[in-house]
Chain A
Amino acid sequence: MRWFNIFSARLRALVGREAVIRDIDEEMRLHVEMETETNVGRGMSPADARRAALISFGNFDSVRNVAYRVRGGGMLETLLQDIRYGARVLAKHKGFTAVAVITLALGIGANTAIFSVVNELLLRPLPYRDAERLVMLWEITSEGRHQNTTSRANFRGWREQNTAFEGMAAFSDQRLTLTGDGEPEEVSVQLATPELFRVLGVEPLLGRGLTQEGERPAAPEVVLSHGFWQRRYGGDPGVVGKPVTLNGVPCTVAGVLPAGFQWHIKQRSGTGRPAEIWTVLAMPTEGSAATRGRFLSVVARLRPSVSLEQAGAEMKTIAARLEQDAPQYNKGYGTQVIPLREQFVGNVRPALLILLGAVGFVLLIACANVANLMLSRAAAREKEVALRTALGASRMRVVRQLLTESVLLALLGSVFGLLVAWWGIGALVAISPRDLVNLQGVGINLTVLGWTLAVSLLTGIIFGIAPALEATRLNLNDALKEGGQGAGGQGTRNRRLRSALVVAEVALALVLLASAGLLVKSFARLQEIDTGFNTENVLTMVVRLPDGKYKEEPQMVAFFRQATERIRALPGVRAVGTVNFLPLYGGLGSSTGFTVEGQPAPPPGEEPSTNVRVTDAGYFGAMGIPLLRGRNFTEFEANESKHVVIISESMARQHFPGEDPLGKRISVQMFEEPTPTEIVGVVGDVRYDSLIDEAQPTVYFPHPELTYPFMTLVIRTTSDPAEMSPAVRRELSAIDPDQPVSDVRTMNQVMADTVGRARFNTLLFGLFAGLATLLAAVGIFGVMNYSVTLRTREIGLRIALGAQPNRVLMLILRQGLLLTLIGIGIGLAGALALTRVMSSLLFGVDTTDPATFAVIVLLLTVVSLIACYIPARRATRIDPLLALRYE
């Protein structure tokens, strides 16, 4: 306690109690002196004069006390007294304090951890100048696909015709190979129109931003991110003006961006990671068909006086005009204006708010538990409170003292809670899915600390108020007479309050358990989805051939043929193939129009569309996609363009109903000229775009027919696929030592990333629900245990009168079960109302899924019975003789 005395003495000196008292004393001393002098002036002797002055002044001490209190010293004094007293009480009851602090630390810690994420993602201002005026502009396709990229022609139309925006910039992510000083490496590059940095409000740290515009410049300029500049150039201040080579094209470094600047829109990003280099986006002259390809994301800055709705309305008018000008490209296309914050976190906001609600529930349960603990001590403290009241403390005064104690407890809990949060944030960042949002900046900052402080003060009052009112609502005479054994009215009301708390805990725990149960079931459903391929023992990696080196398509085809032949020869490899985009890759879902020979041609712009994938003969075997009819590509076709394609089952069903697609010819709009290709096979459906959407019709082209400079190798192995990676890399570098590979992942990892967000939510909810259940069980145990203590005499009497242990056991279990069932009833009603908000997080499960609810009710009942069993067993062992003497 010594540290506390020192602390309070310091605090007192700090707030100036001594100074205030000295000031008052001095003033009164002078007063008496003046009176004395006056008296002397009237002819008294100095001694008489002083005595008379002192008498006329009155009681010195009481004046001083009243004066001190008036000057505001009293409140603080009392508070300090209460804190000191509370600390002493907490230190004395170490067991109680430890249990309460641990309970609160878990509740407050979980809250702080989740709040720190909410603060980072939803509350903290975005790191761009006046970021609330930044918006993303997208198109809605004629098929209703949202947040679709736009074309250069349309971007030009938007930029020229709008009045709502101060500035507008288009950009597109690509991975390019960087050569020049040092190792060749694959870098993430953003092609952007030069306004980009001005729109975002960022000034380059060195040099300048992008300036070139128009046709592809002969010597493009590049701007480096701060991180890339540090990593590749060691922060060399003379980097501006240096040459770099991107995909074989010589470029010049124009500038370096400041540290911390990041600009990455995950939706429709072709690279899936933040850019390290920016370079100019070529804008060919108008009219060229090349300007019609849709691959641009657009960011714009609203004028200060323009609202989101006004901007949206204007974009709509412009889109209508563009549709009229070029119906063959723009028919049925709409536009979308999305605030930047919404773009970044819109898709995680519901989950985050629901999680915040869940930890709020956990904290409420923790509060109920601590309130219960305090109530169990209320009986023991009756005498103390009675004594203080008898000595003249008002009820208010005692309540204030008890509340100070509980707030102190809550603050202590929050100190340990911060430790829990600190650890929890680390764990959160570690398990957060790759595609969530950037959680690296999440941490305990001042806002978070403020929140924790507010939560703990509130917590202290919530769990403290009922016990404090309860403890002070007593009949003085009874309490003093009974010698501290709470009984009669007091005990009954106390017990009722505690039962109510337990019922509330069970109800809250049920809501959380039900939510967690639904998420678990939904997650299981996700895992059960038939994706159309086999993920076991498959290794994948992306190989991008730099265009400077591989200029001709046959060179590219030859590289991949050579690569697959070498890899196939490796021991432990069962099959190997290549594909341009893996299923569930998370990139663009391409959707291309096509026509069927012999079927009436639909009006332009209304052709049916299909996914297009480029593969080789080995792909279907390596991925485990079954060939249903016809034949696979032959080795020969895979290496020489023969105008053949393979289609998916749903394509056959939708576009060739009741007929044999084999031998039919289709023209997919992937070529400059209409190129009919013959269908030679039908393979099983694969979910390429998303796990939860039905498989889209897909057409597979052999690689020589539609050559890509980048392909993903798909390698089926006999054992752990990750172990094959070094051998595969060796084979690739044997062909070309400079050739980089990227995104080395097993198909199981690809799947895990796809369901990452669902797993994250499920894991957290499971954790919180588990915590809630544990706390509720502790609460039930505490109440039943206390109840057995209160009923010792009664139970003793029953045993003395011949009650069998089983009967006694049932008596207690029944009482506990009753409370649990009431709680479950209330909880069910609450859960049915609340799980509705979770519907966006669930897949394939109804928010009122009866099976889940049944399992949860059963689980909670069993847990509660276990919690009741220990006190019930204790009740059966009560010695009637001791019990009857017990007072």
Chain B
Amino acid sequence: MTKQKADLLQGTLDMLILKAVSLGPLHGYGIIQRIRQISGEMLDVEQGSLYPALYRIEQRGWVSSKWEVNETNRRAKFYALTRAGRRQLEVEEASWDRLVLAVAKVRRAM
């Protein structure tokens, strides 16, 4: 099964991470899985770039983290969306929608 993968646009990683944890707390591995899953295996987040991005988002206060034990009795660090993160997600989604709309308009005009 080969699927065409989309390149991640600069700056969209933050939005994807926020979106992923907006549905409930996740550990880092889970975030990658969730993004892959909801994008229909189209988007693959580089594992090496996930963590720096995640920490940066945490520094900004958009997510909070906690070491917890999950359903399979494994310890992992879980990330949850904060209130500031939810606002940020709305902002980023809105600006993303505008971009998509604008690009679509330009494409149709050509």
Partner of A35, one of B29, B48, B56, B59: B29
Tell me whether A62 and B51 are in contact (CB under 8 A).
Answer: no
Which chain B residues (45-91) contact chain A, with CB distance < 8 Å? 46-48, 51-52, 55-56, 59, 74-77
Tell me whether B29 and A67 are in contact (CB under 8 A).
Answer: no
B-side contacts of A67, CB under 8 Å: 51-52, 55
Tell me whether A30 and B27 are in contact (CB under 8 A).
Answer: yes
B-side contacts of A23, CB under 8 Å: 77
Give the interface centre of B46, B47, B74 by most chain A CB atoms within 10 Å. B47
Partner-binding segment picked from A51-59, A350-358, A828-836:
A51-59
Tell me whether B48 and A63 are in contact (CB under 8 A).
Answer: yes
A446 within 8 A of partner (CB): no
B25 within 8 A of partner (CB): no
A30 to B56, CA, bound (A): 20
Which chain A residues (58-81) contact chain B, with CB distance < 8 Å? 58-59, 62-63, 66-67, 70-72
Tell me whether B47 and A30 are in contact (CB under 8 A).
Answer: no
Given A28-B51, A31-B47, A59-B48, also A70-B56 (CB < 8 A): yes
Give the residue name and chain of the B residue nearest to A70 (CB). Answer: B55
A-side contacts of B75, CB under 8 Å: 30
Tell me whether B51 and A34 are in contact (CB under 8 A).
Answer: no
Give the residue name and chain of the A residue nearest to B51 (CB). Answer: A67
A-side contacts of B46, CB under 8 Å: 58
Quote the shortest CB–CB distance from B98 to chain A (angstroms).
Answer: 29
Which chain A residues (10-44) contact chain B, with CB distance < 8 Å? 23-24, 26-28, 30-31, 33-35
Quote the shortest CB–CB distance from A450 to chain B (angstroms).
Answer: 30
Give the residue name and chain of the A residue nearest to B76 (CB). Answer: A30
Give the interface centre of A24, A27, A59, A63 by most chain B CB atoms within 10 Å. A27
Given A35-B29, A71-B55, A72-B59, also A27-B77 (CB < 8 A): yes
Partner of B47, one of A24, A57, A62, A71: A57
A-side contacts of B47, CB under 8 Å: 31, 35, 56-58, 63
A29 to B47, CA, bound (A): 12
Tell me whether A27 and B56 are in contact (CB under 8 A).
Answer: no
Given A70-B56, A72-B59, also A34-B29 (CB < 8 A): yes
Give the residue name and chain of the B residue nearest to A66 (CB). Answer: B52
What string of 1s and 0s marks CB contacts (under 8 Å) between B21-50 and chain A?
Answer: 000000111000000000000000011100
Tell me whether B48 and A31 are in contact (CB under 8 A).
Answer: no
Partner of B48, one of A34, A58, A72: A58
A30 to B59, CA, bound (A): 22
A800 to B59, CA, bound (A): 69
A72 to B56, CA, bound (A): 9
Give the interface centre of B27, B48, B74, B75 by most chain A CB atoms within 10 Å. B48
Tell me whether B48 and A57 are in contact (CB under 8 A).
Answer: yes
A67 to B51, CA, bound (A): 6
Give the residue name and chain of the A residue nearest to B55 (CB). Answer: A70
Tell me whether B59 and A62 are in contact (CB under 8 A).
Answer: no
B-side contacts of A59, CB under 8 Å: 48
A-side contacts of B27, CB under 8 Å: 30-31, 34
Given A27-B51, A57-B48, A63-B48, also A71-B29 (CB < 8 A): no
What string of 1s and 0s marks CB contacts (under 8 Å) between A315-353 and chain B?
Answer: 000000000000000000000000000000000000000
A24 to B67, CA, bound (A): 12
A23 to B28, CA, bound (A): 13
Quote the shortest CB–CB distance from A190 to chain B (angstroms).
Answer: 62
A56 to B59, CA, bound (A): 26
Partner of A63, one of B29, B51, B59, B74: B51
Given A24-B51, A31-B28, A35-B29, also A71-B76 (CB < 8 A): no
Tell me whether B52 and A63 are in contact (CB under 8 A).
Answer: yes
A24 to B50, CA, bound (A): 12
Quote the shortest CB–CB distance from A71 to chain B (angstroms).
Answer: 5
B-side contacts of A24, CB under 8 Å: 51
B-side contacts of A26, CB under 8 Å: 77
What string of 1s and 0s marks CB contacts (under 8 Å) between A107-143 and chain B?
Answer: 0000000000000000000000000000000000000
A28 to B47, CA, bound (A): 10
Quote the shortest CB–CB distance from A788 to chain B (angstroms).
Answer: 55
A-side contacts of B56, CB under 8 Å: 70
A-side contacts of B51, CB under 8 Å: 24, 27-28, 63, 66-67
Give the interface centre of B27, B51, B56 by most chain A CB atoms within 10 Å. B51
A557 to B55, CA, bound (A): 95
B-side contacts of A58, CB under 8 Å: 46-48
Give the residue name and chain of the B residue nearest to A62 (CB). Answer: B48
A63 to B46, CA, bound (A): 11
A59 to B47, CA, bound (A): 10
Give the residue name and chain of the B residue nearest to A34 (CB). Answer: B29
Give the residue name and chain of the A residue nearest to B52 (CB). Answer: A66
Partner of A70, one of B29, B59, B76: B59
Quote the shortest CB–CB distance from A702 to chain B (angstroms).
Answer: 90
Tell me whether A70 and B52 are in contact (CB under 8 A).
Answer: yes
Partner of B74, one of A27, A28, A30, A35: A30
Partner of B29, one of A31, A62, A66, A72: A31
Quote the shortest CB–CB distance from A363 to chain B (angstroms).
Answer: 39
A-side contacts of B28, CB under 8 Å: 27, 31
Give the residue name and chain of the B residue nearest to A59 (CB). Answer: B48
Tell me whether A30 and B48 are in contact (CB under 8 A).
Answer: no
What string of 1s and 0s marks CB contacts (under 8 Å) between A78-101 and chain B?
Answer: 000000000000000000000000
A-side contacts of B76, CB under 8 Å: 27, 30, 34
B-side contacts of A63, CB under 8 Å: 47-48, 51-52
Give the interface centre of A28, A31, A56 by most chain B CB atoms within 10 Å. A31
B-side contacts of A71, CB under 8 Å: 55, 59
Quote the shortest CB–CB distance from A129 to chain B (angstroms).
Answer: 44
A72 to B51, CA, bound (A): 14
A34 to B31, CA, bound (A): 12
A251 to B75, CA, bound (A): 83
Give the residue name and chain of the B residue nearest to A28 (CB). Answer: B51
A173 to B27, CA, bound (A): 80
Give the residue name and chain of the B residue nearest to A65 (CB). Answer: B52
A66 to B46, CA, bound (A): 14
A56 to B50, CA, bound (A): 12
Quote the shortest CB–CB distance from B109 to chain A (angstroms).
Answer: 41
Quote the shortest CB–CB distance from A6 to chain B (angstroms).
Answer: 30
Quote the shortest CB–CB distance from B60 to chain A (angstroms).
Answer: 11
Give the residue name and chain of the B residue nearest to A23 (CB). Answer: B77
Quote the shortest CB–CB distance from A22 to chain B (angstroms).
Answer: 12
Quote the shortest CB–CB distance from A19 to chain B (angstroms).
Answer: 12
Give the interface centre of A24, A71, A72 by most chain B CB atoms within 10 Å. A71
Quote the shortest CB–CB distance from B73 to chain A (angstroms).
Answer: 13
A150 to B92, CA, bound (A): 76
A477 to B59, CA, bound (A): 41
Interface residues of A (CB under 8 A from B): 23-24, 26-28, 30-31, 33-35, 56-59, 62-63, 66-67, 70-72
- Give 3 closest A-B pairs by Cβ, nearest first: A58-B48, A34-B29, A70-B55
Q: List 24 A-B contacts (CB under 8 A).
A: A28-B51, A30-B29, A30-B74, A30-B75, A30-B76, A30-B77, A31-B27, A31-B28, A34-B27, A34-B76, A35-B47, A56-B47, A57-B47, A57-B48, A58-B46, A58-B47, A58-B48, A62-B48, A63-B48, A66-B51, A67-B51, A70-B52, A70-B55, A70-B56
For the A-B complex with A30-B75, A66-B51 known, give 15 more contacts whose Cβ atoms are closer than 8 Å: A23-B77, A27-B51, A30-B27, A30-B29, A30-B74, A31-B27, A31-B29, A35-B47, A56-B47, A57-B48, A62-B48, A63-B47, A66-B52, A70-B56, A72-B59
